[in-house]
Structure 1
């Protein structure tokens, strides 16, 4: 019997690609007096390239932007602070997020989230999506002092949820940091398909709406060992 479902945030619940595009267009508009000498698409495209889908922190990104585009009237620290302060206003959820969470809660499943990133920044983004109330436990790497793919952060979440790993699933977009890492902690790993990654995993979904059905068919999910 599956008793808990845990999730990654970026690329799984939060459509980070869409959110970043919304934010960086907004930043360009708000700071047009200072960055207007840079063509909009060039500024947006370069930010996205340097960001590498969130795997490069923004201090490095903005240092490079300031250098490449000869931005004089704002420091990289000020641009970074603008990102930290304003990104939450541009968060985009993946389709079917809230209905999926509502259905899982209606089944009395315990819900958790494990995300890498800065504590308050990620917490602000979770609040912006309006989903904090659905989760029994949220672990953010900065505050935990440990990050994915270390299996210890998964084990810590399961201990707090009081659920054994074999009765829990973890849903994420990264084949190694999410799916394989969760499996290394004894959980059932589910990959929400992302065209940016290649993966050979057993359980794949294309949309969050598929999760309740996957759990309902948990004999198929976890073999005859588990019962729904």
Structure 2
């Protein structure tokens, strides 16, 4: 019997691709005085390219942008501070996020989250999505001192929820970091399909939309 569901954040609950597009467009407009010599489409597309879907931290991204576009009057540190303080205002949830969490919570399922990233930054995004109250446990890699795909962070989560691995499902968009890593310790791994990643062939189930999760759980 499934007693708990654990989630990844970026690409699973938070539509990070859409959020980044909103953020970088807003940043360009907010800092237009210093960026106006760069076409908006070029600035936004280059940021997204350098960001590599969040796998490159923004100090490196902004250093490269300052150099490539010969930006004067702004430092990379100021651009990074803007990212850290303002990104939370651009968070875009995936469709049906709150309805899905309401269904699971109403059904007596415990909820947890495991996400890689910086603690305050990720928590700000969670708060912006207005989902923090749903979760009994939220583990963020910076604060835990360990990150996915290390099995330790998964073991900590299920220990804190007082459940066995076989009583848990992990839902994520990354085949290795989310699905396979959870399966290694005995959890069910559900892949939230990402069209820009290769398929998670060994996933216990695949969903395209968060609204499918409740039915998916009943199949286990």
C-alpha RMSD of the superposition: 0.6
Runs of 4+ in 1 over 3 A off after TM superposition: none
CA distance in 2, matches of 1:110, 1:184: 21
Q: Is residue 192–residue 204 contact of structure 1 (8 Å, CA) maintained in 2?
A: yes
In structure 1, the gaps of 5 or more residues are: 219-228
Aligned to 2:188: 188
CA distance in 2, matches of 1:123, 1:95: 20
- C-alpha displacement of 1:151: 0.7
Residues 27-64 of structure 1: CA deviation (Å, up to 9, x unaligned)? 00010010110000000000000000000000110000
Aligned to 2:162: 162
Q: Give 3-state SS (helix, strand or coil) of 1:196's partner.
A: coil
- C-alpha displacement of 1:130: 0.3
Q: Give 3-state SS (helix, strand or coil) of 1:204's partner.
A: strand
Q: Give 3-state SS (helix, strand or coil) of 2:87's partner.
A: helix
- C-alpha displacement of 1:201: 2.7
Q: Give 3-state SS (helix, strand or coil) of 1:89's partner.
A: helix
CA distance in 2, matches of 1:8, 1:112: 9
Q: Is residue 5–residue 170 contact of structure 1 (8 Å, CA) maintained in 2?
A: yes
CA distance in 2, matches of 1:184, 1:124: 30
Residues 76-129 of structure 1: CA deviation (Å, up to 9, x unaligned)? 000000000000000000000000000000111110000000000000000000
Kindly indicate whether residue 7 of structure 2 is the aligned counterpart of residue 21 of structure 1.
Answer: no
- C-alpha displacement of 1:72: 1.2
Aligned to 1:40: 40
- C-alpha displacement of 1:217: 1.8
1:68-107 equivalences under 5 Å are 68-107=68-107
Aligned length: 218
CA distance in 1, matches of 2:88, 2:18: 13
Q: Give 3-state SS (helix, strand or coil) of 2:66's partner.
A: helix
CA distance in 1, matches of 2:51, 2:186: 32
CA distance in 2, matches of 1:137, 1:11: 19
In structure 2, the gaps of 5 or more residues are: none
Kindly indicate whether residue 214 of structure 2 is the aligned counterpart of residue 212 of structure 1.
Answer: yes
- C-alpha displacement of 1:216: 1.5
